[in-house]
Structure 1
Amino acid sequence: MLLLLAVLAATAAARGTNGFCSIPLSQQHTSLTTIGLCSADLDVIGPNLEAIHESTIPPTGLALDSDASLFFTYARNREPQKWTLTKATGFITEVPWPSEEWQNCKAGQNASECFVKVQNVVWMPRVALPTPYGAKIMSFNSTSGELIRNYIYPPELYYAKIQLNDIKINNTLGNAGYAFITEDSAFGSISTIDLETCITIRHLFNKGTTPSYLNSGTNGIALTGSNIYWGVKASNHWYFAPQEAFISNLTDAEIEAQIQKPGNFPSEQAGFTADDRGRVYICASAQNAILYADTLQCEVTEEINGVPAGRSGPVPAANYNLKTLVRSGQLQAADTMAILDGYLYFTTNQQGLAPARQYNNIDKRKASIGFSLGEVLLFR
């Protein structure tokens, strides 16, 4: 009780009579006070954040082309959206991309010819909804907006439901590359698409990935080295396995035998990405942070479990060491990330402040800002 009273007293003193934090708690906290009442209360770890775009509604997906043009997606999960895929034209302006006509399906239109629900953009837009021919990934020319190819999920793969979430492409596999896609329904799965033949396989469907009432399945995904990394949003678990295991016609049981678990993740997870030196970045929404782990032993700078720093080869799963890249009150549910020219870009969609997660369904989200983090490849 004394601890509770001390916390309440400190909180009241910090907020003042006007209800706002006049003095950040991080500047006055003791061992008996809390941190985190206001966004300024969180001690900032990492580099300064640079705002690069502000959206009037929270975005989900993010992509950049080689000219650093920004593309955003707005998923039709529980809210109607005027546009589902846009291109930024200024700090606060966006236009539908590649055109207005692509944004919504007309009555009776084949769902393979329009955007049903765009969840994310990385190499291509992809769409998902339990509508025949609605689940697909689409490759566009980022300059002209011309559709290059449409990869449609066969309806027989829908099972109970399908809700594609995140995607990464490895162009070095096979003759034309493979797409790896996570699936965010209550059942969860990881799909592979042969980009030459369009052969689509849905792996690990409904493999116990949905503990608790937050029934969100596989979410973020990253490719680095020869591995695929992914997380389960409704849990604190993340995993990795060889990419070859998913494209070699193995059974689910054979794939599961190759999956490794690098330990628990201290947050609900959203987006994953990786750089060209084997570092995996993970959005940690519960901590207003982005964490990372080095997967190559040559990048490790300290002894872990008796293994000296440096050396060659991959880091053993038991030695993955999560560290904080950046933490700030400005990172309110970082969702999707992309790396270009040494900068890490990410969206903040404030999912925890959305009506579905607030008492009385009150929408507490504010204008959402995408940030550029800084030269992440130089922190070595």
Structure 2
Amino acid sequence: MMIPMLPSEKYFGNFELVYPFYGAMPTGVTVSETGRIFVCFPRWGDDVKFTVAEIVEDKLLPYPNLQTNLVNPENITRTFISVQSVVADGRGTLWVLDTAAPNFSEPIKGGAKLVAVDLETNTIRKVYTFTEDVVLPTTYLNDVRFDFRVGKAGYAYITDSSSTGPGAIIVVDLADGNAFRRLNGANSTSPDPYFIPKVEGKVLMNRNKDGSTSPFRLASDGIAISPDGRVLFFCPLTSRHLFSITTEALRDRSIPDMELPYYVEYWGEKGASDGMITDAKGNVYAGDYEHNCIRKILPNGTMETIIHDPRMLWPDTLSIGPDQYLYVIVNQLHRQPRFHYGKDLRQKPYSLLRIKIDEFPAPTF
């Protein structure tokens, strides 16, 4: 019997290909206020020649130079080890978040850092390192957001997306570098114990070469900040839930850690997300890696899907450019060998895509 043309799932939304990656797998992207595009490649096992790059005339150039991207054990605070995130702050600085944890190892002592690179001179302006009570042996620094309207020099908020220890939001006073953990091990920063991720129709879990398996669990990952800097949105990677908290409560250390979870607001399910970003009107954009799509969450909590496409294979980091496009790294993270008994199922190229949203990025100052 001939099978007639049967109804199929509807896909919608349009994207443009900005850059195809035929080498190492990227995770982060950011677009500066002048339109410069930066990406990063954590050292997860691919041949990473440089962990931070700028896309210049269809070429990947190590940024700020190749020497900074070569690990120097004698100068680990001024060289990049394994960068997970890059964020342009809209006022002339590229911030580089170095996990110092290649292959998700314990962070190299003294290597985990937040680095400010001057985009005018393309040189490192300042390096923020962390004490051992902030970056734990289990810590994996994941993503960062900024607000320069508070304190003497502004604040940074970093997610710890640990797979084996407590998740947290790390708060950094950029004036003196003082950093501290908040919502450490709280439900809102922890993997959802009842969540079973399903990507491309299959359960996603750690599947090791020796045949052993374990659940895939990652703590707080996606992070976005409201246009006025007063509210921080965040989510664990292995969860479909969206949470928020006021940045004032995060900074206020007179609120005991035991009481801080009461300040967290729950926004409901938004899908399982990796990256998130906010536009100037306060809309939050979040990927959904289970359904190959990106969602827009309005300030009133209503939600709409702006793109649903079978090629959106694990939307990772999001960034909004001055051209009013939403940029997204698509990297097939779920096809890595560690999820398939050591077999690499990724197909090159990985991609940097962009979607016209007609909105500007949220300001930081």
Q: TM-score, normalised by structure 2?
A: 0.82
Q: Deviations over 1:111-166 (max 9, x none)?
A: 21211110010130011131121111000012321111111111232334211000
Task: Give CA deviations for 1:48-85 in whole Å, capped at 9, x if unaligned.
Answer: 21111111132101111222111110012344522100
Question: Could you say which residue in structure 2 is the equivalent of 1:327?
Answer: 308
Counterpart AA for 1:258: Y
| Residue 310 of structure 1: aligned partner | none
From 287, 310, 331, give the equivalent of 1:283. 287
Q: What's the counterpart of residue 66 of structure 1? A: 33
**Which residue identity lines up with residue 159 of structure 1 in the other structure?**
L
Aligned residue in 1 for 2:167:
188
The answer to whether structure 1 residue 230 and structure 2 residue 234 are counterparts is yes
Q: Which residue of structure 2 lines up, in the alignment, with residue 158 of structure 1?
A: 135
- Which protein, 1 or 2, shows the higher relative CO under an 8 Å CA cutoff with sep ≥ 6? 2
Unaligned runs of 5+ in 2: 89-94, 102-106, 196-214, 361-365
One-letter amino acid of the counterpart of residue 164, structure 1: L
Q: 2:275 aligns with which of 271, 276, 280?
A: 271
Between the aligned partners of 2:77 and 2:174, the Cα distance in structure 1 is 17
**What is aligned with 1:367?**
349
* Match among 252, 256, 260 for residue 265 of structure 2: 260
Contact 1:288 1:332 in 2 (8 A): yes
Measure how far apart 1:90 and its partner are.
2.7
Residue 353 (1) aligns with residue 319 (2):
no
Q: Tell me, in whole angstroms, the C-alpha distance in 1 between the residues paired with 2:220 and 2:46.
A: 21
* Cα contact 1:53–1:90 (8 A) shared by 2: no
Aligned to 1:309: none
Distance (whole Å) between structure 1 residues aligned to residue 297 and residue 133 of structure 2: 37
CA distance in 1, matches of 2:161, 2:17: 29
**Contact 2:224–2:278 (8 Å) recurs in 1:** yes
Distance, in Å, in 2 between the alignment partners of 1:159 and 1:346 is: 30
Q: Shift of residue 265 of structure 1?
A: 2.8
Aligned pairs for 1:19-30 (under 5 A) are 28-30=5-7
SS in 2 for 1:257: helix
- Alignment CA distance shift 1:159-1:203 (3 Å): same
Aligned to 2:317: 336
Which residue of 163, 171, 184 corresponds with 1:205? 184
Name the structure 2 match of 1:53: 19
SS state at 1:52 partner: strand
SS of alignment partner, residue 252 of structure 1: coil
Taking the aligned partners of 1:192 and 1:80, their CA distance within structure 2 comes to 32
Q: Secondary structure at the match of 2:266?
A: coil
What's the counterpart of residue 76 of structure 2?
Answer: 111
Question: What value does the CA root-mean-square deviation take over the aligned residues?
Answer: 2.0
Return 5+ residue gaps in structure 1 as ranges. 1-5, 14-27, 36-42, 296-314
Question: What is the CA-CA distance between 1:251 and the residue it aligns to?
Answer: 2.1
- Counterpart AA for 1:55: F
SS at match of 2:127: strand
For 2:45 and 2:182, locate their aligned partners in 1 and report how far apart those are by CA, in whole Å. 27
Q: In structure 2, what is the Cα distance between the partners aligned to 1:354 and 1:372?
A: 24
Kindly tell me the number of residue pairs found equivalent between the two proteins: 318
More strand by share: 2
Query: Quick one: structure 1 residues 54 and 111, their matched pair in 2 at CA, closer, same or farther if it must change by over 3 Å?
Result: same
Describe the shift of the 1:153–1:80 C-alpha distance in structure 2 as closer, same or farther (beyond 3 A): farther
Higher CA-based Rg: 1
3-state SS, counterpart of residue 246 of structure 1: helix
Hey, what's the Cα distance between the residues in 1 that align with 2:311 and 2:57? 20
Q: Is the 8 A contact 1:58 1:348 kept in 2?
A: no
Cα offset for 1:366? 1.7
Moved over 4 A (4+): none
User: Aligned partners of 1:347 and 1:362: how far apart in 2?
Assistant: 19
Which amino acid in the other structure matches residue 256 of structure 2? T
Deviation per CA, 1:291-343, whole angstroms, max 9, x where unpaired? 01111xxxxxxxxxxxxxxxxxxx3xxxx222101111231111111112311
Equivalent residue letter for 1:113: R
Q: Per-residue displacement from partner, 1:205-254 (whole Å, max 9, x unpaired)?
A: 22341226212111110001421000111122220011111111122223
Q: 2:119 aligns with which of 122, 142, 147?
A: 142
3-state SS of 1:245 partner: helix
- The percent identity for this pair of structures is 22
Shift in Å at residue 359 of structure 1?
5.3
> In structure 2, what is the Cα distance between the partners aligned to 1:348 and 1:271?
11
When structure 1 is superposed on structure 2, of 350-359 and 187-196 the one drifting more is: 350-359
